């Protein structure tokens, strides 16, 4: 007797799962080759959690591409996404999660990262994830249950408040960008615990892993460049991004204030001169202590294509407003208007050169609760950044200070 014909639907599901498993293995292999994954625990977690189940509506191939995928929009702007797998892996390594730990995540998103956290803390640990949007929280909960992670606790709440009912936590991680540290996160974090967050430091944004010490002081143990959607809710910070009349997008601490003048300067014919090809870390450094730092770009309409961008300084001097811009790639300096911005950029680059071109990974960040910070030293703190709750001192690992 011939065996009964297999159900076509079951065959299709089996083929899809086999395809997903192969694509997941290929993605993990690439992340390991590029050192985003460095340990066996994160490798196992990313091989285990089926990312495609957290991204319904797209193809399996898209789910395992190394790109961020926007999932929710408000007024035409993305407000939630599935983070790029490379960045997910890097932050998981920064967290250094161990079995049995208690983890709090701010920004549930699709639920995929919470599933990875659950794999890393094992059934003996616990994961609580929050999202300010009830719809996003409910979707994350449903997908976690569907994927077999019903033990993850999902709450619809403002992440600024944390989740005090289930504290304390050994690890707190943000999957959204923040300009400051909410006191609630530190109150709910055990001493010697780690906080990992995409932190805006002037014009730079870095994923910073910080260890909690006495009196709420935190010291960085690792930094890596990143870019995330902003935290929403009580602790949200202004986007500091404006669209100019000539189609450029302008980002900077003073974007709203200087936007009209920058647009006017861009209408001028610039003076040009050759400049050494800029290091990718130069704009991060310039943005630390320069309220005139600007980044300009035009949208490409293609999420896979890098926007055409320039960065530099805006300044005002005796000969009027001025703008000095460097391309991200081309060795060319463009100068608009007066000479103040050009001179300021020259001075800043000279200071940066004297520090041996420090990459962001060498920076050391110490965060003090506002009011408990020590007097600002002439050395070794390079830059002090004041926020509402915390004061951030940024220094370089070799101890060199700005002159």
Domain residue spans of the chain: 8-175, 241-354
Mean pLDDT, rounded, of the chain: 84
CB 288, CB 204: distance < 8 Å: yes
CATH top class, domain 8-175 = alpha beta
CB 26, CB 82: distance < 8 Å: no
Q: What is the mean pLDDT of residues 275-291?
A: 76
Active site residue 379: no
Using a 10 angstrom Cβ sphere, with 0-12 exposed, 13-18 middle and 19 or more buried, the burial of residue 291 is: middle
* SS3 of the chain: CCCCCCCHHHHHHHHHHHHHHHHHHHHHHHHHHCCCCCCHHHHHHHHHCCHHHHCCCCCHHHHCCCCCEEEEEECCEEEEEECCHHHHHHHHHHHCCCCCCEEEEECCCCCHHHHHHHHHHCCCCEEEEEECCHHHHHHHHHHHHHCCCCCCEEEECCHHHCCHHHCCEEEEEECCEECCCCHHHHHCEEEEEEEEEEEEECCEEEEEEEEECHHHCEEEEEEEECCCCECCCCCCCCCCEEECCCCCEEECCCHHHHHHHHHHHHCCCCEEEECCCCCCCHHHHHHHCCCCEEEEEECCCCCCCCCEEEEEEEEEECCEEEEEEEECCCCEEEEEECCHHHHHHHHHHHHHHHCCCCCHHHEEEEEEECCCCCCCCCCCCCEEEECCCEEEEEEECCCCCCC
232 pLDDT exceeds 70? no
Q: Which of 124-138, 160-174, 337-351 has the lowest mean pLDDT?
A: 337-351
Q: Which residues contact 5 (CB under 8 A, 6 or more apart)?
A: none
300 pLDDT exceeds 70? no
How high is the pLDDT of residue 386? 87
Q: Which residues contact 395 (CB under 8 A, 6 or more apart)?
A: 363, 364, 366, 380, 381, 382, 401
* Active-site residue, selected from the candidate residues 16, 18, 26, 80: 80
How high is the pLDDT of residue 131? 94
pTM over 0.85: no
279 pLDDT exceeds 80? no
Using a 10 angstrom Cβ sphere, with 0-12 exposed, 13-18 middle and 19 or more buried, the burial of residue 139 is: buried
350 pLDDT exceeds 90? no
Q: How far apart are CA 248 and CA 392, in angstroms?
A: 31
Buried/exposed 215-230: b ≥16 CB within 10 Å, e otherwise: ebbbebebbbbbebbb
Q: How far apart are CA 336 and CA 314, in angstroms?
A: 9
Using a 10 angstrom Cβ sphere, with 0-12 exposed, 13-18 middle and 19 or more buried, the burial of residue 313 is: buried
How high is the pLDDT of residue 45? 98
161 pLDDT exceeds 50? yes
Q: What is the mean pLDDT of residues 32-61?
A: 94
- Residue 380: is the preceding peptide bond cis (ω within 30°)? yes
Q: How far apart are CA 314 and CA 344, in angstroms?
A: 9
- Parallel/antiparallel/unpaired status of strands 77-82 and 249-251: unpaired
Question: How many other C-beta atoms can be found within 10 angstroms of the C-beta atom of residue 144?
Answer: 26
120 pLDDT exceeds 50? yes
78 pLDDT exceeds 60? no
pLDDT confidence of 1, banded at 50, 70, 90?
A: very low
């Amino acid at each position: 007797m011939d065996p009964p014909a297999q159900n076509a639907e079951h065959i299709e599901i089996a083929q899809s799962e086999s395809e997903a498993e192969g694509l997941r293995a290929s993605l993990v292999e690439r992340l390991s080759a590029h050192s985003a994954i460095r340990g066996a625990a994160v490798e196992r977690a990313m091989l285990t959690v089926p990312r495609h189940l957290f991204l319904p509506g797209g193809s399996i191939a898209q789910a395992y591409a190394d790109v961020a995928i926007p999932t929710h929009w408000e007024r035409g702007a993305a407000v939630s996404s599935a983070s790029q797998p490379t960045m997910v892996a890097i932050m998981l390594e920064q967290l250094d999660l161990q079995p049995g730990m208690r983890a709090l995540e701010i920004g549930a998103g699709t639920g995929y990262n919470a599933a990875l956290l659950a794999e890393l803390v094992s059934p003996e640990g616990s994961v609580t994830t929050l999202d300010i949007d009830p719809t996003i929280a409910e979707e994350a909960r449903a997908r976690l249950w569907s994927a077999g992670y019903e033990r993850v606790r999902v709450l619809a709440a403002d992440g600024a408040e944390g989740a005090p009912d289930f504290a304390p936590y050994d690890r707190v991680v943000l999957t959204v960008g923040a300009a400051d540290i909410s006191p609630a996160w530190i109150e709910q974090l055990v001493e010697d615990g780690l906080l990992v967050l995409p932190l805006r430091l002037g014009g730079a944004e870095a994923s910073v892993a910080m260890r909690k010490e006495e009196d709420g002081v935190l010291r960085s143990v690792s930094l890596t460049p990143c870019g995330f959607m902003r935290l929403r809710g009580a602790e949200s910070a202004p986007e500091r991004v404006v669209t100019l009349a000539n189609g450029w997008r302008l980002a900077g601490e003073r974007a709203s204030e200087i936007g009209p003048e920058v647009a006017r300067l861009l209408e001028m014919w610039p003076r040009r001169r050759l400049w050494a090809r800029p290091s990718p870390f130069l704009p991060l450094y310039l943005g630390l202590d320069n309220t005139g730092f600007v980044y300009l770009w035009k949208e490409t309409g293609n999420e896979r294509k890098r926007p055409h961008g320039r960065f530099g300084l805006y300044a005002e001097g005796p000969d009027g407003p001025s703008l000095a811009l460097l391309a991200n790639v081309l060795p060319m300096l463009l100068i608009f208007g007066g000479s103040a911005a050009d001179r300021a950029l020259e001075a800043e680059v000279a200071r940066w050169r004297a520090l041996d071109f420090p990459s962001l990974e060498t920076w050391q960040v110490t965060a003090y609760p506002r009011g408990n910070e020590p007097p600002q030293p002439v050395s070794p703190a390079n830059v002090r950044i004041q926020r509402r709750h915390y004061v951030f001192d940024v220094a370089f690992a070799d101890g060199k200070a700005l002159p």
